[in-house]
Amino acid sequence: MDIVGLTIEKLHKAIKSKETTVTEVCQATFDRIEKLNPKLNAFLTLTQEKALARAKTLDTQLSNDLEMPSLFGVPIAVKDNICTEAVRTTCGSKILENFIPPYSATAITKLEEAGAIIIGKTNCDEFAMGSSNENSAYGPVHNPWDLTCVPGGSSGGSAAAIAADLCVVALGSDTGGSVREPASFCGVFGLKPTYGRVSRYGLVAFGSSLDQIGQFGKTTSDVARVLSVVAGRDLHDATSSNCDVPNYLASLNGDIKGLRVGIPKEAFGIGLSKDVKSVVETAIKNLEALGAITVEVTLPHSEYAIADYYIIATAEASANLARFDGVRYGFRAENNKNLSDLYRYTRDLGFGAEVKRRIMLGTYVLSSGYYDAYYLKAQKVRTLIEQDFHSAFAQCDIIAMPTAPIPAFKLGEKTEDPLEMYLADIYTVTLNLAGVPGLSMPCGFSREGLPIGCQLVAPHFQEAKLLQVANIYEYAYPNTKHLLLS
């Protein structure tokens, strides 16, 4: 049987009925990666030997009389800024080119306990800083729908791997849209959970008050299965939440009749491409056809979101990346006359241009005389943005809006204009600032045949509602256009 492209449910049925084995699934996955990764550059590190050994062990353990763990034998890809014990973790940066973590992130440990097989680490913008995956020290990722286009960033490798059937599910990280935007550009489902829903232990920090580990899948049910495994309180992460973890898979049932869907007027104004506007508006009409009720809401402070985000995120990045100095681990420049030279040359040679830009911005806004004018004021604006969402959710159950203002753009198109690149995050950064969950679901295509995503937003810790709505939409309006990549 053709085992490439199967969902978790179909994969489990095939293994249970002995139509295939975990080892065959794993080998077929690596065969496809070997064939397509040279075109996509989605994976930076593969764990083939370790993965096949684990697959063989799982096949030995399998019994028809036992219930399979929820991710039994599922090949999963992991963004290369999430620590994996004894497996290289580069963060897409030269400064960590040969870094081998001595431990695994909590999310990785939970996945393996649920039976998943880690097949490799995916390419990403350096330290997750970027909207196109062109900032990686190891070359850009190419969009499977059009190899001349970007896959979105910073988790572009994970999104491209899902779209091209190089894995079944994948992990990414989302600081300002880094799961949702590539999900939109690559035509897959991508979820950013509520801040604190998933432990950040083992996620290499970019913006500590913004970062969250997110999930990619070809279906909402696959995303729900992964979230059910990785969500929950972790003693290693003081910011992780004690909130109960619901059965996300069970929550996919029901209907959305009477569901109030808020439409923020600010999300459909200047800068939104005609294709995205048309496709997302059609998706909203489809939700109405399924029984939802649309209401207009307002997010009045969203116009300040990009400026606010790039003050807070860069300030936190400046502090977090100070640890990469060539002293303790990672790349170290040679021929240094003194300690000052060691720091300067290591960071100059180890970091790429975008990371340096953000470190300098962050250092500036935290510096004496500017802290109150920039960073403190940005935190106050952040509070206003969060209050906007509270006010909106008093009038609706979820919010629907574009994930990105444009479809995937050409490689190299925006690299010379950082501000234009930053504006690609205009609809996603607000959710990170407010800490609320968001999900990008495929809902159509541009005139050039590129995927477009609709972003669903819910109140804190209501990921189940997002998954339910997206699942109902997925089955009512299935994607009939398939990726032709071989």
Catalytic residues: 79, 154, 178
Q: Which H/E stretch holds residue 359? A: helix 353-366
**Closest CA relative to residue 301, chosen from 429, 180, 461, 400:** 429
Edge to edge, what strands does the sheet with 213-217 contain?
43-46, 117-122, 75-79, 169-173, 213-217, 189-192, 438-445, 451-457, 398-402, 260-264, 293-297
Which tokens in the block code for residue 131? 């909207």
Which tokens in the block code for residue 403? 């994930």
Number of neighbours of residue 260 by Cβ within 10 angstroms: 16
* Angle value at C-alpha 177, between 403 and 395, nearest 5 degrees: 55
Q: Which DSSP string corresponds to 263-307?
A: EEGGGGSTT--HHHHHHHHHHHHHHHHTT-EEEEE--GGGGGHHH
* φ, ψ at 455 (rounded to 5°): -95, 125
**Looking at residue 95, what DSSP letter applies?**
G
Torsion angle of C-alpha atoms 463, 467, 469, 471, degrees rounded to 10: 180
**Looking at residue 128, what DSSP letter applies?**
G
Distance between the two ends of the chain, CA-based, in angstroms? 18
